[in-house]
Amino acid sequence: MKDKETNTGELLRDTLDMLVLKTLTRGAMHGYAIAEFIEEATDDVLRVEEGALYPALHRLELRGLVAAEWGLSENNRRAKYYRLTAGGRKQLGEESARWGRMTSAIARIMEA
């Protein structure tokens, strides 16, 4: 019972991680900007609870895939900016390759 929960959780989590990493290829951003970007880019299709972004960001930071530092936002508030590390870039490469393989495989079945 418990195991199954974590499995589905993991699937979503991995996707979110990938999206965050991809977003950060555009440069350093704070959490709100990342959320805004994902929502706008997907026309609000992928509108998850925004809060869920933060555990994801911290997890990526802990794994050394993103680095964080505090800076000033556009309206002069203290904000935490995240940027991609070399490790993160490499991870993103692997993830998107995997993602590509998977979607094309799924597509082949769905279109068959």
Is 73 among the residues that bind another protein (CB under 8 A)?
A: yes
Spell out a b/e string for 80-109, using b for 16 or more CB atoms within 10 Å of the CB, else e: ebbebbeebeebbeebeeeeeeeeeeeeee
Partners of 71 in the β-ladder: 79
Is 31 among the residues that bind another protein (CB under 8 A)?
A: yes
Residue with Cβ nearer another protein (90 or 101): 90
The two tokens of residue 80 are 């935490």
Cβ count near 38 (within 10 Å): 21
Residue with Cβ nearer another protein (59 or 83): 59
Q: Which stretch binds another protein (CB under 8 A): 7-15, 44-52, 92-100, 104-112?
A: 44-52
Residues within window 92-111 making contact with another protein, judged by CB under 8 A = none
The two tokens of residue 20 are 């965050």
Is 76 among the residues that bind another protein (CB under 8 A)?
A: no
The three-state secondary structure class of 67 is strand
Chain mean position to CA 91: 12
Among 22, 83, 87, 99, interactor with another protein by CB under 8 A = 87
Is 26 among the residues that bind another protein (CB under 8 A)?
A: no
Chain contacts with another protein (rule: CB under 8 A): 30-32, 35, 49-52, 54-55, 58-59, 61-64, 70, 73, 77-80, 87
